[in-house]
Structure 1
Amino acid sequence: MQFDRIGNHMAAAVEYSGHAFSAVRGCSGHLHFDSMIRNSKKINSPLKMVAASKYLPKVSPSHPRGDDAHFIAADEQFIGVSDGVGGWRKHGIDGGEYARRFMINSLIALIHKIPNNNNNGWHAKSPKRVLEEAYVKTTTQGSSTACIISFSGEDNMLRAANVGDSGFMVIRNGAVLYRSPIQQRSSNNCPYQLGTTKDDPSVAEEIELRVEKGDLVILGTDGLFDNMFEREMLDILERGAMLGDDLVKQCSDVAKIAHSNSLDRLRDTPYSIASRRAGKRHKGGKIDDITVIIARIE
């Protein structure tokens, strides 16, 4: 199963309770995310963030939607990913359901804006504030990582709040300008997580970066970053730029290579290297759900 259609359809479908939302279209009781957002009618600033996505759930007949969820909100200039912790399944709990609910509640938090004191406008919420509100509203059992990013054309600032081992990179002129740190406990593959755990949004790493026209943001779950080195992603983006590929094609190419690497039992991957450093014997990739969002500042 894979989701990457262009237009008014979806990148990852999650159950939804009934609110309309800017870059989101509802269908048959489900929430569908546009995989390519070309224009934002409300954004009048010189620069905006344009995003596309690709989701490849790992093959599981009993769990076809996987554990990842994500959203793209064009008018609000927000993107986000979450990765449900699959370990809950041994307790009869669907970790993916928590991730999906968390993304839904993140969208709802964006709908409810903060009025200015003079009552003639609205304050934009920070990613951390959205994270906090979604955390309070998500009462489903389970837990997930989460990374939420916003862009403001007023000051050209990219802002993010990240919990766990999902994360993002900012690329400028073919080189990595910034990569978010992984929040992980000492044991390998035990990330910080929100939900039915001891962690809460106070552990979130908050990031602010000034970005420029042409900068790229790659946001993804650990299924991406565990299976691809930075150089592999940069090569795909460079080749795509030379060929004139749009963001949807570039997302698809990145996700497909990550998926191929995850199934390769011999190649070195970021996950296999980290495992060996932690004293574990592991070769090859890590089979996992893979979510890729690529955003361009333009």
Structure 2
Amino acid sequence: MIAKRRRIEENLKIESVPTYDGDCSSERDLKLVSGSLYLPKENELKPKGDDSHFICQKEGVIGVADGVGGWALKGIDAGEYARRLMKNCYVAVKKGEIDLKRVLGEAYAYTKVAGSSTACLLSLSDSKLHAINVGDSGFMVLRRGRVVYQSPLQQHRFNHPYQLGNSNASDTPSCAQELEFQTRAGDIIVMATDGLLDNVFPWEVELAVWYRLWVHEQDGDDLIPEEIAYDLAEIAMYNSLDHFAETPFSIAAKQAGKERRGGKVDDITVIVSFVI
């Protein structure tokens, strides 16, 4: 894996790390500019997949949810739970709620359909990132092309994440992790469901972001977050279909005593936010 990274870096002739500087002169004025990409896995019976997300651009709040696919065995579309949960989060934010714990709690209370899902919400205020997370969705913060923070996973056991839902076996918002991280202008945030996180290592995220920043620097074009989201989703999809690749999921499986090689085919949601 280390050798693979070195070969890629040598091919790209990485000498210095370009940065996205943003255009704010004061840390007090920091805001998020966000874009996303969603790639549901192929399933004729569930064309919308199980993931959902929202972006409140003006309020600087983003969120993702991943419906737990195991509900399909009971004939339940967990994607519908994820979509309702994210819609209710969006509504709460638009009504003026800024405390993420209350946003998630209100959304959870109003989501009455069957199923369950993970959830990760993030906001920016006073140059500090605030996040709340339930399950194995999450986010990374990149600074000067390097990952300087990655949110921890919440799992009861391997491949069994914490999940919000209405069944007795589901978790509640009281289980959520509350996270904070001091950010700077020029930081890039990558939030994703496990379709990315199970298939792409942080160093692969770094290289993808570095490459897009380098192209932007060479061409002088305006960089938009959707470009990075597309690149990362494409890498995740490619790795998920590789039956022999070493991936975060295959390593976690081995650590749990499972025989598992290659990527994990799943819905892929990526939100990329620039701190400017």
TM-score (norm 1): 0.79
- 1:51 deviates by 0.6
Aligned residue number for residue 162 of structure 2: 192
- 1:46 deviates by 2.0
Structure 2 CA distance, aligned partners of 1:247 and 1:227? 20
AA of the residue aligned to 1:267: A
Aligned residue number for residue 84 of structure 2: 101
Structure 2 CA distance, aligned partners of 1:111 and 1:259? 33
3-state DSSP of counterpart to 2:35: strand
- 1:149 deviates by 0.4
Aligned residue number for residue 29 of structure 1: none
Aligned residue number for residue 138 of structure 1: 111
1:12-91 equivalence runs, <5 A:
46-91=29-74
Aligned residue number for residue 4 of structure 1: none
AA of the residue aligned to 2:34: A
Aligned residue number for residue 234 of structure 2: 256
1:232-251 equivalence runs, <5 A:
232-244=204-216, 245-251=223-229
- 1:76 deviates by 1.0
Structure 2 CA distance, aligned partners of 1:69 and 1:111? 17
Determine if contact 2:162/2:170 at 8 Å carries over to the other structure: no
1:269 to 247, 258, 261: 247
3-state DSSP of counterpart to 2:249: helix
Aligned residue number for residue 148 of structure 2: 177
- 1:209 deviates by 1.3
Higher RCO by CA contacts (8 Å cutoff, separation 6 or greater)? 2
Determine if contact 1:126/1:159 at 8 Å carries over to the other structure: no
Query: Which 4+ residue blocks in structure 1 deviate beyond 6 angstroms?
Result: none
String of CA shifts for 1:209-268, please: whole Å, max 9, x gaps. 111000111100001000000010100100100111432111101100100000000110
- 1:183 deviates by 0.2
AA of the residue aligned to 2:242: D
- 1:112 deviates by 2.4
String of CA shifts for 1:51-100, please: whole Å, max 9, x gaps. 11011100111111100000110111100000000101111110000000
- Identity, % of aligned positions: 50
3-state DSSP of counterpart to 2:160: coil
Determine if contact 1:218/1:292 at 8 Å carries over to the other structure: yes
- Give aligned pairs, total: 244
Structure 2 CA distance, aligned partners of 1:150 and 1:75? 11
Structure 2 CA distance, aligned partners of 1:174 and 1:234? 6
The answer to whether 1:168 aligns with 2:139 is yes
- 1:198 deviates by 3.4
Task: Identify the structure with the greater helix proportion.
Answer: 2
Q: Where in structure 2 are there 5+ consecutive unaligned residues?
A: 1-27, 217-222
Determine if contact 1:126/1:150 at 8 Å carries over to the other structure: no
Aligned residue number for residue 10 of structure 1: none
RMSD: 1.6
Aligned residue number for residue 221 of structure 1: 193
Q: Where in structure 1 are there 5+ consecutive unaligned residues?
A: 1-44, 114-123
String of CA shifts for 1:11-31, please: whole Å, max 9, x gaps. xxxxxxxxxxxxxxxxxxxxx
TM-score (norm 2): 0.86
Determine if contact 2:134/2:177 at 8 Å carries over to the other structure: yes
